[in-house]
Amino acid sequence: MVRPLIEALRMRPVARRPVWIMRQAGRYLPEYRELRARHSFQEAVSTPQVAAEITLQPIRRFGMDGAVIFADIMTPLEAMGVEMTFDPGPRLRPHTLAEVAALEPLDIDRVGFVTETIRRVRSGVPDETAVIGFAGAPLTLLAYLVEGGGSKDFMRLRGQLRADPAAARAALTALAAAMKSYLAMQLDAGADVVQLFDSWAGVLDRDTYRDLALPAASTTLGGLDAPRIYFAPGSGHTLDLQAAIGVEGYAVDWRVPLDEAWARLGDVAIQGNIDPAVLLADPDAIRKAVSDLLARSAGRDGHIVNLGHGIDRHTPPENVAAFVEAVRS
């Protein structure tokens, strides 16, 4: 069975450009809001029937080429003994670097609900639709663990990375081993491709990224027997360094033109990279943005159409339909 998204990641010609949207299973959909009214976020993630239904909602409505599993990058940390709540983002006790390095190894059995969700999604999507598993990159998980949640600038993290690089490396090594195991579990369950989200790598300078974040991401993704995508939004200043991770595909945000991204990354597949704000405009603006994006790809193989970040919760569903239609027409 030909799955366009997988073919594109392998740099093979495809009959039509594959398209999916990060966070496509989410709050902009009325059917999602209706379901979430009856389930908390953590309950929805940990209940395979609910998580699979949420994953399938945008596939039914728009026919995306990728079904990204409904979960959270923090999910596996709970299976390593980290206690947290979501309000709506993660809230947890700030950890030291030594505490992160000493976290319990990932207990795969405690995230077995993700395995079951993937199995349900695989059996519920069309054969040509790729199932996408994912994890948070070690640096990004470390950012949340050190800060105790989200942050505007992650000053505490940056300070600790500079104060004790050796302790930071030990913490990142532990997280990399856990996330590699987590991704392998998802592939064994039936995922076709995995994406590593390095959401906060962009706060680092080039040297710190090269010395700490990049080796941890490489370790996480290394040796996995499936197409892999790496995504570090806001990291245009390290795009050339990211090429050393050596994966099949790189997602890029809207700040870097698609053709420039190819020039800096080399002959690899690229995913992206329309500004999510475009989907808050009108259909004409959406069609123009898609046309401009495809023109920049110059007909070359290895392009997956996506936004440059997750879809905004206020996006009208009809604009998503216009986006997908513009790509396919």
Residues annotated as part of the active site: 23, 27, 36, 72, 144
Distance of CA 19 to the CA centre of its chain: 14
Cα angle at 325 between 32 and 311, to 5 degrees? Answer: 40
Distance of CA 125 to the CA centre of its chain: 20
Dist CA 83 CA 281 (whole Å)? 40
- Could you tell me the strand order of the sheet in which 303-304 lies? 66-68, 130-136, 193-197, 228-231, 249-251, 269-271, 303-304
Dist CA 215 CA 210 (whole Å)? 7
Distance of CA 318 to the CA centre of its chain: 24
Select from 220, 235, 34 the least CA-distant residue to 142.
220
Q: What is the rounded radius of gyration, in angstroms, for the C-alpha atoms of the chain?
A: 19
Beta-strand relationship, 90-92 and 84-86: antiparallel
Residues near 317 by beta carbon (within 8 Å), at least 6 away in sequence: 28, 29, 30, 61
